[in-house]
Amino acid sequence: MYHRFIEQISEFIFAEDEPEKADIIFIPGNGYSQMAEKAAALYGEKYAPFVLPSGKYSITVDKFCGVLSGQERYNGNYRTEWEFLKDVLVKNHVPDEVILKEDQATFTWENARLSREVTDKAGIEIKKALLCCKNYHARRALMYYQRAYPEAEFRVCPCCVDGVTKENWMNAEESIQSVLGEVQRIVTQFSLMM
């Protein structure tokens, strides 16, 4: 029974799909370079014509906490997550003109909801989208973006940024807390979407 519980949590939290041609690539706000690098690679492979990084900073600290990976390459004086993610995209050959701007979100539901405002204002119809996020943040990010774009199909293209994976999260106390924390946030934040 215990192993089945672990499998079910793993399948639920670590959402992942193969990429397909889409209308846009979304990146929820964060300070890790890997998600924007993956989005840049997908853009380079012509999976989508637009990329929309989103984020001001975390609501819990009220400022951009800085670059959490790739500091040697991405070392600007970034005030927002969007500025950081845009720099990662540009340095990875994504043209400025295809990078949309959402720099007010302070938590994941705002990333999704305010991204919807940006695409609506730009007149971009989203039928299919790619979502580049942290691997154990994937289910919550997908839940919010799917709520903001109920008519769209999403393909989740996650990144592992800290060594926590679907296969090993249950082997260390810190990663157990990270993954089960996502389960708890999904449950407690569900009402935000209503």
The pTM for the full model equals 0.95
51-53/24-27 β-pairing: parallel
Give the dihedral of Cα atoms 126, 35, 84, 162; nearest 10 deg: 150
The enclosing domain of 152 has a CATH number of 3.40.50.620
Count of domains for the chain: 1
* Each residue's pLDDT expressed in tens, for the chain with a length of 194 residues: 778 989 999 999 999 999 999 999 999 999 999 999 999 999 999 999 999 999 999 888 888 989 999 999 999 999 999 999 999 999 999 999 999 999 999 999 999 999 999 999 999 999 999 999 999 999 999 999 999 999 999 999 999 999 999 999 999 999 999 999 999 988 887 776 66
- Identify the sign of the CA torsion 48, 51, 52, 58: positive
Contacts of 135 (CB under 8 A, 6+ apart): 14, 16, 158, 159, 160, 161, 164, 165, 166
| Domain range enclosing 118 | 2-193
- Helical axes 2-13 vs 138-148, angle rounded to 10°: 50
